[in-house]
Amino acid sequence: MRSPIKRIALSTGGGDAPGLNAVIRAATLAARNRDWDVLGIRDGFNGLLFPEQYPDGGLIQLTRDRVRGIVHLGGTIIGTTNIGNPIAYPVQQSDGTWIEVDRSEELLARFEEHRIDALITIGGDGTMGIARHLHEAGLRVVGVPKTIDNDLDKTVATFGFDSAVEFASECIDRLFSTAASHGRIIVVEVMGRYAGWIALNAGMASGAHVILIPEIPYRLEPVSALITERARRGAKFSIVCVAEGARPVGGEVSIVGKAVGQAERLGGVGAKLTAELAQMTGREARTVVLGHLLRGGSPTSFDRLLGLRFGAAAVRALDAGHNGVMVALDPPTVNYVPLAEATHRQKTVPLDCDSILTARDMGICLGDEMPTHTAIGP
Ligand code: F6P
């Protein structure tokens, strides 16, 4: 039988996503209503690992006042990082080489020192992996899934995704008029890592003519054939929505670089495609990279609500004695799934899903074949 909870900590890890502050607010209020003390750890776990680097000691007391009026704000009021994985912390040695050090013992000791009885950690697959490790090492943990990429398994949705899709769709809507006025190809590159959810959903919602996703390696021939056919029929412009993780058949994903202790950074496929399509079609082409714009700004009401539901559900989970679980959207409810299951695999776009079938039915080119009918003409 574990001791009753008196104090919990919240942390946000990995890339930020609209909706994080909604989780922080709901979890704080639900915890305060149970008379639990709530601490926010700054910048993932850095606030606990490097307290000397923060004027406030790396921990923020989360009170009702502190979480008032934050639901509509992007980002996270407690900060985040995608560098400081405490299980594999990058440390440079005297000869300049880097090693990864497991600092989880040290981290657990800090939880004890601060008499923190349980952790609610909000993040993507990396954070859920850390949560699982800390849970197995003895910490009481509940995970809350977050990512604009929507690639976390065992939850129907993560907050941040809807806001990213909404904004990307709006940007593509805007690109239509300028592309049409100039008769240009515009290639829009969107984030999403190795999953094509953002590209597929935003591309479909805004009427892109070509959508390229990591799950379907593309060939240039059907893409340029579609663009040329559209021009022949009078539509001299085309919009291509490409996921940053898309790659050509037999080719590699475009990587910008990789810093020590970080996942590799994807990017560049949009510019590459633009040059190739301009050359193959003889048409003018431009690239727009939406990048981090997809992570900023105010969350949609869907993401706010999902964040609030997840935050309160995480506190209810702890109160009910759950441990080592992730809250998950399982409509119409929010469920709890073991962290071990949640971190098992990445959720990518199934090739037979309804959206893919719809895109094909509508004559959208997915890069593997020239659609049998295009969206123009009789
Ligand atoms: O996982 C969220 C995400 O925005 C990805 O879509 C993108 O590849 C990555 O993070 C970018 O990370 P960073 O903020 O380190 O550039």
Q: Is the CB of 267 under 6 A from ligand 1?
A: no
Task: Using pLDDT thresholds of 50, 70 and 90, give the confidence band for residue 262.
Answer: confident
Task: Using pLDDT thresholds of 50, 70 and 90, give the confidence band for residue 376.
Answer: low
- Whether pLDDT at 378 is above 80: no
Regarding whether 53 and 149 lie in a shared domain, the answer is: yes
Q: Are strands 59-61 and 37-41 parallel, antiparallel or unpaired?
A: antiparallel
CA of 295 to the centre of ligand 1 (A): 9
Regarding whether 125 and 241 lie in a shared domain, the answer is: no
Q: Is residue 375 part of a domain?
A: no
Q: Is residue 216 part of a domain?
A: yes
What number of H helices and E strands is found in the chain?
A: 11, 15
Nearest CA to ligand 1 atom 13: 15
Round to whole Å and give the CA distance between 12 and 24: 9
Q: Is the CB of 148 under 6 A from ligand 1?
A: yes
Residue 375, pLDDT score? 54
Give which of 131, 101, 141, 122 is closest to 260, Cα–Cα: 101
Regarding whether 275 and 135 lie in a shared domain, the answer is: no
CATH number at residue 140: 3.40.50.450
Q: Is 191 annotated as a binding residue?
A: yes
- Whether pLDDT at 250 is above 80: yes
Q: Is residue 218 part of a domain?
A: yes
Chain segment 264-278, per-residue pLDDT in tens: 899 999 999 999 999
- Are 306 and 330 within 8 A, CB to CB? no
Round to whole Å and give the CA distance between 132 and 54: 27
- Are 141 and 323 within 8 A, CB to CB? yes
Tell me the mean pLDDT in the region 249-273.
Answer: 90
Chain segment 219-234, per-residue pLDDT in tens: 999 999 999 999 999 9
131 contacts: CB under 8 Å, gap ≥ 6: 119, 121, 123, 141, 143, 326, 339
Task: Output phi, psi for 239, to 5 deg.
Answer: -110, 125
CB burial class (10 A; 0-12, 13-18, 19+) of residue 217? middle
Q: Is 286 annotated as a binding residue?
A: yes
Q: Which residues pair with 119 in a beta bridge?
A: 9, 141
Task: For tokens 């880097």, name the residue.
Answer: 98
Tell me the mean pLDDT in the region 69-86.
Answer: 94
110 contacts: CB under 8 Å, gap ≥ 6: 48, 49
Q: 231 is in which domain, residue-wise?
A: 164-295+350-362
Cβ count within 10 A of residue 353: 12
Regarding whether 149 and 72 lie in a shared domain, the answer is: yes
Q: Is the CB of 149 under 6 A from ligand 1?
A: yes
Report the b/e string of 123-156 with b at 16+ CB within 10 A.
bbbbbbbbbbbbbeeebbbbbbbbbbbbbbbbbe
